[in-house]
Amino acid sequence: MKTTKIRKQASLVVALFITAFLLTQCGGQSYQTEKLYVGEESVVADAALEYDEGEISEEMAQESFSGRQAVAPVKKKNDGRRDTVHNTESYDRIYENPFVSPLSNPLSTFSVDVDRASYANARRYLNNSQLPPAGAVRIEEFVNYFDYDYPQPKGDVPFSINMEMTDCFWNTKHKLLSIGLQGREVNVQNLPASNLVFLIDVSGSMSDENKLPLLKKSFQILLDNLRGSDRVAMVVYAGAAGVVLNSTTCDNKSKIVDAFAKLEAGGSTAGGQGIELAYKIAKDNFIQGGNNRVILATDGDFNIGQSSDDGLVRMIEEKRKSGIFLTVLGFGMGNYKDSKMEKLSNAGNGNYAYIDNIMEAKKILGKEIWGTLYTIAKDVKIQIEFNPNKVKAYRLIGYENRMLAAEDFNDDTKDAGDIGSGHTVTAIYEIIPAGSTEEIPNIDELEYQKTKVVKSPNFMTFKLRYKKPDSDVSKLISQKIVESAIYTQTPSMNLKLAGSVSMFGLLLRNSKYKAAASYEAAITLAKLAKGVDDDGYRAELIMLMQKAQLLN
């Protein structure tokens, strides 16, 4: 037994000697073969690592992507060799809304969503010649990335309501219903003063060019659009949080610019501590009747202190009671935490955008600045009751993480989405008409309750609740809609655009509901909806569709 042990030790020594010799002859380099394991729930990649002698690691890069793999970014070493950075981006899995019968599910209730982050993030993937993970594609954010030609509201209601229905572009046996809200465009001169607190992640993970350097350039665009009466404070966080700029009026922009210029990345990420401090600064400088807001800019990679999604969301939910709104701006790639960022913005009476390049910064913080920063209506909820005599089944496209229980509609304590100045919000339903022979999943007939369908000429009843930004009591809008008032065989440019973008999202998600959808059809429809495109967003959409078609 003892002799055998000695032989094993001797063999190990010889093996180590031979390995060291070979490494020396190869210039101290070794290569690990790439392996990829793709599952429905997640992707685990043993990335192709190149390491120096002695830097052997057994760690595997793990990603919580739903669906397809995103390639990790590659960095070159100073000696020309390459390091592959582990990709730890995270996205929540999306369970698509199914077709349901109005007999068993009479009410469709959801919160509006004006976020645009998903589209910009997917664009980043496609521009890097990669298809985005399915969990990264939130179709409502694709649709709401674009502006639509809806009329400005009249009277006291802060938005106009616009409905249109036509034959479904990817399933002609179905109908496509569009519901569009147009927020009132408030004259900048009439907007109250803003009390803004920039909460900036300066941890080590923010050092890449598309993170802190891009963030600084983006905030310069925002600063250029602020007025002298607006106030800015700056809180940074890495290993700890601290105030680098006390609340300063924008007639002293040189002082604000100097504070920005001194920002550098380094350290771990204590995001929760930074949030606490930022809200305290906003509260200390609160402007009664003004626009009070924290603007969080980060890659979402919080790793010390309060960092769990649940803990951070609860913290933000408590902070929103102070009347301070939240804007979340995402930056970067490789370790991006989309799932965390969206939850924070949803909890904080806020909005969420992803800035992948300086032109997106110009869109969000320049062209759409007051839609991003100034809320005209909060806790906006929609509830629709479809008439079973007209509708066999319906499906809301997108808004999966914005669905509400039917009773939440009348509950003013339930949080919902907000609409900013000039914002448009569009929701799309796919409808199976009554009389269709198409089978849909249904529940068993009830033993003790029977549904009695009332005869009515109405197609549906539409209800909407909203609150003024400084109110805790909602206002109700209710309309009964007949089919002839909204159906058209010649859809508007608005519906063509929303339909093409929805089709694009279904294809990127490889949705079970895509039916006859194709990239050719989506591209053709998008070209028909291009119209006046001064900023080039619709032309870019067509280009991204073409890239996705080639990658697919």
Q: What is the tens place of the pLDDT at every residue in 256-305?
A: 999 988 888 876 655 678 888 999 999 999 999 999 999 999 988 765 45
* Confidence (pLDDT) at 184: 95
Which pLDDT does position 520 carry in this prediction? Answer: 98
Residue with tokens 């010799």: 21
Q: Say yes or no: 279 and 407 in one domain.
A: no
Same domain? For 416 and 323 the reply is no
Take residue 263 and report the two structure tokens written for it. 């920002």
- How does pLDDT run across 215-246, given as a tens digit for each residue? 999 999 999 999 999 999 999 988 777 899 99
> Do 78 and 177 reside in the same domain of the chain?
no
Residues 182 and 204 in one domain: no
Res 441: pLDDT: 85
**Is 290 in the same domain as 142?**
no
Print the domain residue range for 496: 107-186+376-441+453-551
245 with 366, same domain: the answer is yes
Q: Is residue 8 part of a domain?
A: no
End position of a domain, from candidates 323, 338, 370? 370
Residues 6+ apart with CB under 8 A from 317: 347, 348, 415
| DSSP 8-state class, residue 99 | P
CA gap 154, 173 in Å, rounded: 36
- With contact defined as beta carbons under 8 Å apart, do 430 and 168 qualify? yes
Distance of CA 349 to the CA centre of its chain: 15
Q: What angle do CA 301, 305, 310 make, to 5 degrees?
A: 70
Exposure string for 260-277, b = 16+ CB within 10 A, e = fewer: beebebeebbbbbbbbbb
349 and 403 share one domain: no
pLDDT at 163: 98
Shared domain check, 405 and 293: no
> From CA 269, how far away is CA 203, in angstroms rounded?
5
CA distances from 28 to 57, 85, 88, 159, 498 (A): 15, 20, 28, 66, 56
For the chain, which ranges sit under pLDDT 70?
Answer: 1-86, 267-271, 302-307
Q: Is beta strand 458-467 parallel, antiparallel or unpaired with respect to 194-201?
A: unpaired
Is residue 333 domain-shared with residue 382, that is, in the same domain? no
DSSP character at residue 116: -
The reply to whether 45 and 145 lie within a common domain is no
Contacts of 98 (CB under 8 A, 6+ apart): 395, 441
Look at the pTM and tell me if it is higher than 0.85.
no
Residues 525 and 542 in one domain: yes
CA distance 343 to 316: 10
AA letter at 271: G
DSSP string, 394-416: EEEES-GGGB--GGGGG-TTS--
Angstrom distance (rounded) from CA 458 to CA 484: 9
Give the distance between the most distant pair of CA atoms in the chain.
Answer: 96
The residue written with tokens 């009773």 in the block is 407
What is residue 340's three-state secondary structure?
A: helix
Specify the pLDDT at position 131. 97
Whole-number pLDDT of residue 464: 98
Are 371 and 399 in contact by the 8 Å Cβ rule? The answer is: no
What's the rounded Cα separation, in Å, for the pair 287 and 112?
A: 27
Dihedral sign for Cα 442, 443, 444, 448, please.
Answer: negative
- DSSP for 195-263? EEEEEEE-SGGG-STTTHHHHHHHHHHHHHH--TT-EEEEEEESSSEEEEEEEEEGGGHHHHHHHHHT-
* Whether residue 355 sits in one domain with residue 223: yes
CATH of the domain at 194: 3.40.50.410
pLDDT of res. 267: 64
The encoded tokens of residue 462 equal 């539409």
Q: Output the six-digit token pair for 182.
A: 């147009």
CB 453 within 8 A of CB 389: yes
